[in-house]
Structure 1
């Protein structure tokens, strides 16, 4: 073989390796940037979660709403205190769901963190939401709170041990990473 052919093959090989490396590193960096966006959004939204008022309203919805009020009037038929709790808590979770729909937030991350609470709130408000849909004339399930309903469905479908499984997987990856160094 001629030395110029060998030189061309070697330089072409180096160029291919450089392009592949650039693509792989670029994709990894994009994934890291996306995760960084998810974290900042989660931190911002979880600030409300630390509020005492939020927790009192959350508890009100989950423990007293159905016992104290008939869903016949829908959401619009609730008295002011109950309606305020409904809007503050349900729309809080709806915000997470909207961000997940537009892929601004990783829904698995969000559902993992808030799984039990999302499911319990949906169970408490479901009769009121369904009646509100009827009062609005929405047929076929309706669109009122449909994104929150879907979020609750995803949360309920997530196995209860998901957080522990994810934690174990992260620890295994970290251990493997330390071994490779």
Structure 2
């Protein structure tokens, strides 16, 4: 009788351990799913912002004005730009800074952000860089910190990585005629 009791106890322990393992796996899976959902909500909010007419107009203006032959002198930095261009640069650059901060903090994968905003991320960075560089020199002289380091982080990745390499991270189908 004692051996039967031992078998029942061993089976009970095995069932309990199995239930514990399933519970732990389930909890881990639910946590991962909740994290993905939160990230997707955040990304969706940024997508909504960048698709507004106001943002798109500001982005086009920043690239066109700062890359034109008649662009303002970068020596004054971003603060030296005339209005409304200065506000547009801050709006657009701030948007990419916020995205970059999410990347730097590990909240959103870098390849995802760069894939979504690849073209304009590169164009805006190249347009604002001469002005940002002067702005940083001015801020450093005042011991006032720096500006847009996270924007720079994702911009450098976008500038140094061909889109085809970033696209390889996604499982996607392509149309062949």
TM-score range, shorter chain: 0.7 to 0.9
Residue 134 (structure 1) aligns with: 137
Task: Check whether the contact 1:65–1:82 (CA below 8 A) recurs between aligned residues.
Answer: no
Residue 176 (structure 1) aligns with: none
1:53-92 equivalences in 2 (<5 Å):
53-67=54-68, 68-92=71-95
Task: Say yes or no: does 1:167 pair with 2:168.
Answer: no
Q: Which structure carries more helix by proportion?
A: 1
Gaps of 5+ in 2: none
In structure 2, how many angstroms separate the alpha carbons of the residues matched to 1:9 and 1:41?
48
Deviations 1:63-95 (A, max 9, x none): 321331121110111001220210111111112
The count of corresponding residues between Structure 1 and Structure 2 is 167
Tell me: CA distance 1:106–1:133, structure 2 relative to 1, closer, same or farther (3 Å).
same
Secondary structure class of the residue paired with 1:124: helix
In structure 2, how many angstroms separate the alpha carbons of the residues matched to 1:28 and 1:75?
46
Residue 111 (structure 1) aligns with: 114
Gaps of 5+ in 1: 172-181
Q: Which aligned segments of 4 or more residues in structure 1 are displaced greater than 6 angstroms?
A: none
Q: Aligned-residue CA RMSD in angstroms?
A: 2.3
Report the TM-score when normalising by structure 1: 0.80
Task: Say yes or no: does 1:94 pair with 2:97.
Answer: yes
Shift of 1:31: 0.8
